[in-house]
Copies of this chain bind each other. A is one copy, B any other.
Amino acid sequence: MSAPSPQRITLIGLGTIGMSMAGLHLSRDHTIIDVFDTRPDFEDYLFKTLPNFLTHQSPSSSSPSVISSLVSSGRLNIHKTLETACASATIVQEQGPENLPFKQSLWAKVESLAPVTAHFWTSTSGIAASAQQQDMHDKTRLLVVHPFNPPHIMPLLEIVPSPTTSPSRVEFAREYFSLPGSRHRPVVLQKEIPGFVGNRLAFALLREACYLVQEDVVSAKDLDTILMASLGPRWAGNGVFESYQQGGGEGGIQAFLQKLGGTMQEVWDGLGKVNVLGDEGTQWKDKVISQTNDAYGNLTVGQVREKEERLKEFVRIQTKKYGHVESKL
């Protein structure tokens, strides 16, 4: 089950995440991509949309004609049925709706259609593989491959097996996304947990952010400025544990926890407890939504493109080497 050999990847569900995933897979050599989506205008939509996700191409080739040439060369196959889409897959990956009955029924069907050796990956952001595989016969084949938006640029893939997923299938996925030259960084989680790790960290910070806006400590826009002017660039270069290891000086994170322990506990005791569901949430929601709308409105396609270019630079710099002069200290 070695990953670097040529793969034939069936993508089910070509919304924004699915298109971006297609971009990711097409940036690899020797991949063949089969796509299937139930929207009636799927083929037109694909020709118009997919070029935006082929960032390994030069900007000038980001036009519908690049899709024609992928189709005519056989690297991209557009299917009208799930049957033909899955028939020759080595990997089937779904980016469908976040709906448990839909996913359970889909995987049972896919299991009956795909070759017995094919790997099954779900791009879900929230539904564990152990729940999705309920109606499958073989419960060793499915695992979560949770990307961060947009997957064709963002390095992270959270690989989350169910307790019954075969370790060799986990390793196959990890290897596929670690191919030499890839900027992608797959991480395997040891346990299923709601939100996986990336979104748990994001939502923990978001909850406090919503609380601070509710309490009028800071506006939504100023909070964003604070994050971008401090923690964003810090965590782009250093993880949170690494940062505090460095912040603690010679004593490392242990010294940091001792020195800042009082402030940290005071902050932890006072963290906001807003809720997204239920009555309690109303006040902060109104403030957050109106302040965010006022600050940003709807981003134009040009603004989104500019932000993607910036994101690509951040990711590129993460792996760049720097010459440095040893200090005399």
Contact = CB atoms under 8 A, between A and B. Distances in A.
13 contacts: A62-B325, A126-B260, A187-B226, A195-B264, A201-B226, A204-B208, A205-B231, A235-B236, A241-B292, A245-B299, A252-B292, A257-B285, A301-B329
A192 to B, nearest CB: 9
Contacts of A236: 228, 232-233, 235-236, 314
Given A191-B216, A245-B299, A198 B317 contact: no
Contacts of A315: 233
Nearest to A262: B277
A69 interface: no
Contacts of A206: 240, 244, 264
Interface stretch (A20-28, A107-115, A130-138, A147-155): A147-155
Nearest to A324: B305
A271 interface: yes
A171 interface: no
A329 to B, nearest CB: 6
This chain: how many copies in the complex? Answer: 2
B242 A226 contact: no
A209 interface: yes
Give the bracket for the number of chain A residues in contact with chain B. Answer: 35 or more
A55 interface: no
A208 B203 CA distance: 10
A209 to B, nearest CB: 5
A228 B326 CA distance: 26
A48 B329 contact: yes
A329 B191 contact: no
Nearest to A277: B265
Contacts of A129: none
A155 B298 CA distance: 27
A30 interface: no
Interface stretch (A5-13, A33-41, A85-93, A217-225): A217-225
A263 B131 CA distance: 15
A68 interface: no
Contact of A229 (B154, B320, B325): B154
